[in-house]
Amino acid sequence: MADDMASRYQMMEELGSGSFGTVYKAIDKANGEIVAIKHIDLESSEDDIQEIQQEISVLATCASAFVTQYKASFLKGHKLWIVMEYLGGGSCLDLLKPGVFNEAHVSIVCQQLLQGLDYLHSEGKIHRDVKAANVLLSNTGKVKLADFGVAAQLVNIKSQRNTFVGTPFWMAPEVIQQAGYDFKADIWSLGITAIEMINGEPPHASTHPMKVLFLIPKNPAPRLEGPEYSSTFKDFIAQCLTKDPERRPSAKELLKHKFIRNAGKTEALQELIQRKQEWDGCRGISKDVKYYAETLKSISKPSVEDEDEWVFDTVKAPTMRTPSKNPSMWVPNGTDWTTLDEDDESPDPSQLMEDMHISQLPKPPKHQANSTVRRTSGFERSPSIRRANTKRRSSGVKQPLGLDLSFGNSPSTVRQFRRVSDRVPSEAVPPRSSHGLDENTSPKVITGDSTSKEAQLGRRAYSKAIGMSCQEVLSTTGDGEKREAISRLAEAWSDLEMVDPEGLYHIIRVMNERLQADSRLSALQPDSPSRPRLVLAQNNPHLKSHRRRQSTTEPPPQSPLSNLPGQQVSGMEHTKQLSDVLYQRWAEGLRNRWGF
């Protein structure tokens, strides 16, 4: 039955992906409608499937023109497919890439968002993660709230939540303080989003998100300042960013605000979409389109040697699904147990044909002159945090919820799907801040100076070692999830090689040094290469960034596997820190509540 559902859709290109799965564009064959389908691999999700179901039930009970419409969900093998309305205009965060919005645009978006929030709030739902990245536009400029990864359903209209979810920069003070919060938390986030749209980034964007968690409750609420903004706009922001949630107006009240009442028509937002398209066009961004291809299940099937099957008594058993009063009848005999649950994900040839990457084309530079966010190294728009229980009980009795707030690829934390254009593969690239100058120059220049010795070595390292090792490991890895991770890493390396071979070289070099510096890891290495050491210029940005990282965290000695470059270079140590702090905060909250 599930397969029937899946075959209803003609899968098309990938729209975006997160640690949690991938979103594809698809066509509903029944009516030709374009939809977005989120594929969630449940095998990679350790947390309770029930939480995902919860998310679906929140989605399924929403029907509003201001909220992305849920259509259906079903299982295909161990993947959950969630069919949603397709919105072609992209997210507000995408649309901010060419430049900030003007006041008129912001007021339209806010007006639409307020209607969406008013709907959700009247339904007893809190979104909990309002930010530009979660605001989607249709091609015609319609504005819709998306991503209910962390939305909560309140049972009682007056009840409050105590969970700590959201994304630091956009979080309301009462959420951070875990004082118990309600709908008003979304209004704060809306105010932050308005600032984000007019400034290109939320307040404190250049601060480490960990620190932001302390700043938001401590500092006075952010304000919009400067003569270039109208006083009604400033007042709107001030209203949204009222620290006391009691005094913060509701969505309904804000809809009567002058700034909102004077908002124009949504069609005006088409300008933003057009601007983005032109901007993409100018930058030669022909999307690196990835098509959906069904995975070959056979790879992950364990090779079962017959001799290793369990030996059970050879009782003749009828088919195993026949209910029977006699318990000994339930058991299939030893030979047919492998036939359980055939997923039969055999590839559809037509789809495989479509699986052609346009990778022959020179890849566009992924570093975008992005005036929107000054990011701290590697920390790219912190993914939403959500509570999740990770470690399971051993005794079956539920222990107090464990928490895994580690970011990145941990499946349980992030339920956010970045849109492709936002998914800058620079995640595996040295901090972008170090490219400050290069970014604003034309793409040619980036590669133009990469003829240095380091760059050549970097290219060589890639072609001789990295690419092949990735291939090699990939070919010996059966598990689908791992394969995906490895190929992502390989892709990241390849991007890096193209954009910054010099940086690649330095990563390898530093990695090598560190491996050798560690007494246990160095044993793994073959004879240390007695290459002459290159002396680096003191102002080498890569060196600096490495120093900076080294000074912030001393990576703990780990197994060589978990110390692979992907981790080192991505700057994930920051998020690790953040997660530690969040964990502590959470644990404290828990202790208070449980009276430990």
- Residues in the site for other proteins, rule: CB under 8 A? 1-2, 5, 42-43, 46, 49-50, 53, 56-57, 60-61, 63, 73-75, 77-78, 80, 123, 155, 157-158, 250, 300-302, 304, 308-313, 315, 320-328, 330-331, 337-338, 340-341, 391-398, 479, 559
Q: How far is it, in rounded angstroms, from Cα 189 to Cα 405? A: 21
CB of 580 to other proteins, least distance (A): 15
Shorter beta-carbon distance to other proteins: residue 80 or 187: 80
Q: Are residues 56 and 68 in contact, defined by beta-carbon separation less than 8 angstroms?
A: no
Whole-number CA gyration radius for the chain: 26
Shorter beta-carbon distance to other proteins: residue 313 or 527: 313
Shorter beta-carbon distance to other proteins: residue 74 or 229: 74
Report CA dihedral (280, 284, 285, 286) to the nearest 10 degrees: 120
CB of 242 to other proteins, least distance (A): 17
Q: Are residues 9 and 83 in contact, defined by beta-carbon separation less than 8 angstroms?
A: yes
CB of 448 to other proteins, least distance (A): 43
Task: Classify 288 in phi/psi space as left (phi over 0), alpha (psi -120 to 50) or beta.
Answer: beta
Shorter beta-carbon distance to other proteins: residue 160 or 266: 160
Kindly give the pairing relationship between strand 70-76 and strand 125-126. Answer: unpaired
Q: Is 355 a catalytic residue?
A: no
Can you spell out the DSSP letters for 402-440?
A: P-----TT-TTT----EEGGG--GGGGSS-GGGGHHHHH
Shorter beta-carbon distance to other proteins: residue 83 or 221: 83
CB of 516 to other proteins, least distance (A): 24
Q: Are residues 84 and 69 in contact, defined by beta-carbon separation less than 8 angstroms?
A: yes
Per-residue DSSP letter, 360: T
**Residues in CB range of 358: below 8 A, 6 or more apart:** 286, 288, 289
Q: What residue type is 244 in one-letter code? A: D
Sign of the CA dihedral 197, 199, 203, 209?
positive
φ/ψ of 121, rounded to 5, equals -65, -35
- Token readout for 577 is 């820190």
CB of 557 to other proteins, least distance (A): 14
CB of 477 to other proteins, least distance (A): 11
Shorter beta-carbon distance to other proteins: residue 393 or 593: 393
Listed residue (15, 118, 46) closest to 481, CA to CA: 46
Listed residue (179, 182, 175) closest to 158, CA to CA: 182
Q: How far is it, in rounded angstroms, from Cα 405 to Cα 580? A: 8
Kindly give the pairing relationship between strand 418-419 and strand 9-18. Answer: antiparallel
Shorter beta-carbon distance to other proteins: residue 77 or 245: 77
Can you spell out the DSSP letters for 135-154?
A: EEE-TT--EEE---TT-EE-
The β-bridge partners of 295 are none
CB of 70 to other proteins, least distance (A): 10
Kindly give the pairing relationship between strand 79-85 and strand 33-41. Answer: antiparallel
CB atoms within 10 A of CB 128: 27
User: Binding site annotation covers 71?
Assistant: no
Listed residue (380, 379, 375, 382) closest to 433, CA to CA: 375
Shorter beta-carbon distance to other proteins: residue 36 or 198: 36
The one catalytic residue in 129, 288, 495, 500 is 129
Which H or E element spans position 585? helix 572-594
CB of 583 to other proteins, least distance (A): 15
Residues tagged in the binding site annotation = 38
Q: Please give the positions annotated as active site.
A: 129
Residues tagged in the binding site annotation for ATP = 38
